[in-house]
């Protein structure tokens, strides 16, 4: 074998090693997922290198990349799309063009992106909102919110909450022809976190007379206290969202101080005086047996009080909806939860399902055995269309 052929062989092996991602046999379109994951991994590696050089924060660089996938608010033959502001928060409103003899359903949607990335203008979210508005014959409001690292908790929560409260004004609902008794909220990933959090907050708001009929949470992130759940362990190097990236997202939600991220990875960020909160996220009692199998629950390690005093957000129920007590959960509306088997956030959603049901809330849990994080919103995958069809059918029946 000549030297040139040897170099080509070695190069081919290295490329194959870089592209290859171990996947379960039941994953649909594995090579497409490997290709997407390689694309995402390459971008992540590049922006990490840029950050190491001190040139640009990793999340700022990633948001620049995401901005290339944004599309203008363009109406089509089925849906009128406009961009406006709800209480100074930029939103997109999707209204079906066909005439309706009755007031329509309303759906308030919150995009994902780890509280750091994305917008309602990203192509996949724009398409999702169009399809939902058309097929559900609903007015869909897709909201933006200010992002980390420039803005930290509770800004993202407050932006979403303020936009939602604006939408729930009777005059606003009347303007868009929305039935005040048929309004729901939905979001994916970090958007699922914000949807769960603002839904809880509404329960205690005496100024909001119109309440939500349903909440739909798509692989939501619901707590940062324990990032060593079985799903984090099993999917630490999962495609699209790894454990290390998710912990970075959580940390950036509260601060750019990397010491919080380091403490979270070593499970030493929760002070002993907050130990009572672990009962709300104790996976040994909240996960069904099949998700526990092969894992042993270890009592948490406690850290100093310094981080919690500097960044109290990670112990705040508005950032971690799983920390709500049973009394609060009992009053929540009809709920739909999607979780995916190959997702670090799987167990957050499953524990919330358990706690909601224990509190008397009616929950439909769609656990996707061949699903991965992003399976709902990556529209190039067949699984995405399957999940969206199931999601819209549930909304048709319950909203």
Q: Among residues 124, 159, 373, 384, which one is catalytic?
A: 373
Report yes or no: 319 and 313 within 8 Å, Cβ to Cβ: yes
Structure tokens of 49? 């290198």
Query: Which residue is associated with the tokens 């699922």?
Result: 192
CA distances from 41 to 35, 46, 145, 364 (A): 10, 9, 26, 33
In 3D, which of 236, 246, 157, 259 has the Cα closest to residue 199? 157
Q: Among residues 186, 189, 231, 384, which one is catalytic?
A: 189
Burial (0-12, 13-18, 19+ Cβ within 10 Å), 302: middle
Report yes or no: 34 and 17 within 8 Å, Cβ to Cβ: no
CA distances from 277 to 100, 318, 332, 347, 348 (A): 48, 14, 20, 17, 15
Active site residue 61: no
CA distances from 162 to 143, 208, 290, 319 (A): 11, 11, 40, 16
Active site residue 373: yes
Structure tokens of 207? 């100024």
Active site residue 343: yes
Q: Among residues 134, 188, 228, 343, which one is catalytic?
A: 343
According to DSSP, residue 280 is labeled G
Catalytic residues: 189, 343, 373
């Amino acid at each position: 074998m000549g030297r040139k052929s040897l170099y080509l062989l070695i190069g081919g092996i290295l490329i194959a090693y870089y592209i290859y991602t171990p996947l379960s046999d039941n994953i649909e379109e594995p090579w497409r997922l490997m290709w997407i994951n390689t694309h995402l991994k390459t971008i992540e590696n590049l922006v990490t290198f840029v950050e190491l050089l001190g040139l640009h924060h990793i999340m700022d660089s990633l948001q620049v990349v995401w901005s290339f996938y944004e599309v203008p608010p363009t109406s089509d033959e089925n849906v009128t799309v406009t961009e406006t502001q709800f209480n100074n928060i930029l939103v997109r409103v999707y209204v079906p063009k066909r005439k309706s003899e009755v007031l329509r359903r309303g759906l308030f949607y919150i995009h994902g992106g780890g509280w750091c990335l994305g917008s309602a203008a990203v192509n996949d979210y724009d398409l999702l909102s169009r399809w939902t508005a058309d097929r559900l014959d609903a007015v869909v409001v897709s909201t933006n919110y200010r992002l980390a690292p420039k803005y930290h908790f509770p800004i993202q929560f407050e932006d979403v909450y303020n936009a939602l409260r604006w939408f729930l004004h009777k005059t606003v609902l009347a303007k868009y022809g929305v039935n005040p008794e048929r309004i729901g909220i939905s979001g994916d990933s970090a958007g699922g976190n914000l949807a769960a959090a603002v839904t809880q907050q509404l329960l205690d708001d005496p100024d909001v007379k119109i309440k939500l009929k349903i909440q739909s949470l798509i692989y939501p992130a619901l707590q940062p206290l324990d990032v060593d759940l079985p799903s984090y362990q099993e999917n630490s190097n999962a495609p699209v969202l790894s454990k290390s990236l998710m912990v970075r997202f959580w940390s950036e939600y509260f601060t750019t101080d990397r010491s919080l991220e380091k403490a979270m990875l070593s499970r030493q960020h929760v002070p002993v005086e907050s130990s009572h909160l672990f009962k709300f996220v104790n996976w040994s009692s909240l996960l069904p047996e099949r998700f526990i199998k092969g894992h042993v629950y270890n009592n948490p390690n406690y850290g100093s009080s310094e981080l919690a005093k500097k960044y109290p957000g990670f112990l705040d129920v508005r950032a971690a909806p799983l920390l709500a007590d049973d009394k609060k959960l009992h009053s929540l509306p009809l709920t739909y939860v999607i979780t995916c088997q190959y997702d670090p956030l799987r167990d957050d959603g499953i524990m919330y399902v358990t706690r909601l049901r224990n509190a008397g809330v009616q929950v439909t849990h769609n656990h996707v055995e061949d699903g991965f994080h992003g399976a709902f919103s990556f529209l190039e995958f067949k699984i995405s269309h399957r999940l969206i069809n199931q999601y819209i059918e549930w909304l048709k029946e319950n909203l």
